[in-house]
Structure 1
Amino acid sequence: MEESHIEEGESQNKLLEVAPALISVHPSQESVAVTVGSDLRVFDLIENQPVTLVDESDGSPHKDSVRAISYGASGKLFVSAGDDKLVKIWSAESWRCLNTISSEKRVSAVAISGNDSHVCYADKFGVVWVVELDGISEGHQVLPSKKGAPLLSHYCSIITSLEFSPDGRYILSADRDFKIRVTVFPKEPLQGAHEIQSFCLGHTEFVTCIAFVCNPELAQGYLMSGSGDSTVRLWDITSGSLLDTCEVSTMAGQIESNESEPVQVTVTDICAIPNTCSAAVSIQSFQGILLLSCDLSAHSLSLTKVVKIPGESFIPTSISLSTSTRLLWMVSGASNGSNHPGYSRVRVISCIEAEPSSVLEDEQIPGGTKLLEKLQGKVSIEESVMSAAAEAVRAAMSSLLMKKQYSDEKREFRKRTRNDKKTTN
């Protein structure tokens, strides 16, 4: 009876593992990539046409939900990874898959070093792995298969975000257990990273996203982090000191319960605006984005703007900004492969930090309807589909990242039935 109850509960949790749509923009806005479910879609903004991905490893980019995508700082490389336990390194010029790395566990986060020398990825067991690229960005040839080497570990805590510091000295890893680890990136990464610079401790729920805000006056920058505790926090990573905390749901003034009390919402993404001390922030259930500004001298965060998306149920699941423009790209959508089709909705905000900023109409977006048809799956997306997707993401994030509580009896049963305890005949 106990066993069947547990199997039923775990089966229900598995059904809730919805993949939110993700978006990433080339640093020079030469292309835009969107993922929804296992589908990786890329549009070339220079040629104004959809990109055909070339993957000679097994014929298809991904077989299960993509959980992380990223362009390298140089714009030469692009990485995608997810639930199929594959990390794929692409040329962002030819869009040929240069290498496919097999992970032991499902992948939850990726990062590319600033000089394109290493790719790091994190798995669901809390281990960060590193792959040496050996000048892979200098050519377009497919290289022999590589394996990741263990770099560091969070010990059974799901890692939600990876980021290199602007100067490349540190790699930062955020996890489900409320913490951010700042690790010195070693000269010989394949030998492991053994020096911890600091821990940034203060969040009271899972950390979802991290981003650096910096300007010419402060090249190292400060770290901003978002969480399921409704806050964005500002950190000095050298010491791990918490500098300020911004209660985003309260400051937005838009998300309230029927009892007029603030509802705890999740910060879903943070996108730093290059060469400024500002960042765009998306939060669960909010139809728009917030603009937060960091005062370097006062070490404080403040809300400077709220941009609402008019006329439809558009709640961003991911946001991205190129370093060469002031266009903020947003995507909303989700997929679990069955109940929620692989549709996504793309919107763009111009001059995000200026007054006034505006949400572009579809025909004003770079690439126009050709881009939307490629990245959304079709040009027009029904509002009911997007509303269902937004609710699915909310439920899935809570199921995936909030720590589950088990009775003593159930905990002992789970220990006895762990894969590493099972015997093979």
Structure 2
Amino acid sequence: MPLLVTDHSWTQTESMVFISVPLKGAKKVDIVSSDEYLKVHFPPFLLEVFPSELVDDEQSSAKIGNGVAVISLTKRTNKLWEHLSINDKETKREVRERALSKMQEKLAAEAKNRSEKKHNEKKYTLKKMMNIESEEREIIQKMKDEERERTTAELEAWQLKESKKTEEEARLKLQSQSNQLSKVRAVKHKSESDGSGGSKVIFGDEAERKKKQVDLPAPRVAGNIQVSFTPRVFPTALRESLEDWHPTPVSLCSPQWLKKQAEARRVVSADIEELNDLREEERNPDWLKEKGNKCFAAGNYLSALNAYNLAIRLNRKIPALYSNRAACHLKLRNFHKAIEDSSQALELLTPAISANAAARARAHVRRGSAFCQLELYAEGLQDYQTALKIDPSNEALQVDTQKIRDIIQGSAE
């Protein structure tokens, strides 16, 4: 039960009320206020004020310094109060319930606004990225069109040039054949007129072929080309696929598998000298988890904690190890460590699906228990309510949640 603060003081003007609360060395102060309720909580002390008149919560303020919290409340009506707080117990209970209900609604509205703002920011970012990508595609398409037009123009120019060249070669060839035929006729006519024997005539085509044979280049000199292969990332056959969509059930060289193996090697190599002293089964996280469970069931919480610590050093991706270690910390009253391990377990238990519902409920209950042990009942209530949403038929969980509500409302026995 929290200790009620009785040594606070207050002063007023016609428009303001100033409340001074000594913090007694507290490092963390939780202040909750509304138009008709004020709570100052710094464990294990608690101050509740039920103003006799309504105040303006939006214009009120609080300052903390030099071991004192000064709360400034703005009155809705300008007049002096006869007393600071109302004394009727029933009225206090109703005011407290209304204030806590409004606070929960306010927190829910703020969370919704944050979610909507984040969603709108993501939507705006996505729209901007799509516009940028569209502009880039237009630029690329424009470059492609320009390159296509330039290439087409060059091809047409080359085709025209080749056509002219072919026509010119055909014309020259026809002219050469005509000249050769004229020469043959002239030689034949001369031979017939002289009465001499036929002479050997070398036509132009044969002479050109002989000339081309003489002008052929010499064979190229043989040489060697140096080839260097990329070293393998992992000693497996090169025919194995490294893609994520490899059709085999387990690809021993997929990027995910290689990443997990590298991470495991880093963890083991960090403590290789210490791990060399362990037996083969003691290097198995599953065996260590079972050993920790047996020690916990026997009440040997320190041994269970050591087993879970070693298992986590070997594999940091098993949420049950963090959740079980949080249970050990609860038994050993290491509440801050219990909160840390429970939070780590919940982080690993994402996304939230039906298969991990029971594990998530246990982690929420263990973190909520640690919060309550630290007298942070509001935070503990949130974890218990989350666990109750996961397992609404759990009667023990319903009873514990109601007890925390009663403590917060100040009606616990």
TM-score (ref. length: structure 2): 0.21
Larger fraction in strand? 1
Which structure carries more relative contact order (alpha carbon 8 Å, separation 6+)? 1
TM-score (norm 1): 0.21
More helix by share: 2
